[in-house]
Amino acid sequence: MTTFSRNRILLLTLTIGLLLSCRAQQRGRTRPEVGAASIMSVLSKTHASGSLEYWGDCHIGVLPDFPRLKTNVQAQGSPLETLREIFADDPVMRINTDAKGRIRMVESDVPEDLLEVRIKRVSFAPESEFPWEVENAVTGRSVGLYSPADALRHILSTPEVVNFRKAHSIGPFDFEQTGGPDLEISAPSPHISGELTDVKLSEALDSVLTVFPGIWIYENCPSTKSARDVYFQFYQNASAWDALQTGKRY
């Protein structure tokens, strides 16, 4: 093979890599305040819960960005029909309901490996390392976690999940700090307590929805520091989503 031929192959390889990188970076990028309001306004009206799995950018703000979606869709059919219309511009998005009636919004090319990790045990007891958890338990007059963000941190901090992420270079690696003292707790308030044993990561996330109805988000993103980055987030059902989506004021 001549030097000219090798250079042409190298140039072609670099070009293909650049195109694939650009294509990956173009996924997502819908602002979270827009994407969350569009989706949650549909789910909240019928008190539906579910999940959203997709490829995104992960770097447009503090909260995860959303997939490409339409923001001017009028809810005229079932939540499933409305959501399919909202995601009509995302060719790989599949929207269905599972056996328990939860709505699953999943891009067909999203890796499921992390969601399939089996957890031996996850406890939802407050931890002294996070003082607001203990304070919330006292204020709420019942031991448990009063925020889905705190429940998420407990799930993501299990050894099985931590070890799998490290072994497969799935960042970022500061996910144990998810959650925080951002809620005012009054008695009685919804809370998750007890523990789960021998569950998949996705099943643990679903268990949080039984206490805090809404959706959990599983966003995968290209990364320059790891094989890929993954972000999780919970959004709860509330009437305020409809107001944000329609531009009303409270």
Q: Is the C-alpha dihedral spanning 30, 96, 52, 219 positive or negative?
A: negative
Which one is predicted more confidently, 180 or 99?
99
Gyration radius of the chain's alpha carbons? 20
Q: What is the mean pLDDT of the chain?
A: 83
Nearest to 230 by CA among 180, 170, 181, 190: 170
pLDDT in tens, 161-181: 999 999 999 998 765 445 444
- C-alpha distances in angstroms, 73 versus 76, 78, 82? 9, 13, 7
In the predicted model, what is the mean pLDDT of residues 180-208? 81
Q: pLDDT at position 181, please?
A: 47
Specify the range with the lowest mean pLDDT, choosing from 4-8, 122-126, 186-190: 4-8
Domain range list for the chain: 3-246
Most confident range (mean pLDDT) of 63-77, 217-231, 234-248 is: 217-231
Most confident range (mean pLDDT) of 20-24, 41-45, 136-140 is: 41-45
Query: What is d(CA 221, CA 232) in angstroms, rounded to the nearest whole number?
Result: 12
Q: Would the pLDDT of 22 be above 60?
A: no
Query: What is d(CA 66, CA 33) in angstroms, rounded to the nearest whole number?
Result: 9
Q: pLDDT at position 131, please?
A: 80
Q: Residue 9, exposed/middle/buried by CB under 10 A (0-12, 13-18, 19+)? A: exposed
Strand 50-55 versus strand 214-221 pairing type: parallel
In the predicted model, what is the mean pLDDT of residues 2-28? 46
Q: Would the pLDDT of 47 be above 50?
A: yes
Specify the range with the lowest mean pLDDT, choosing from 76-85, 128-137, 149-158: 128-137
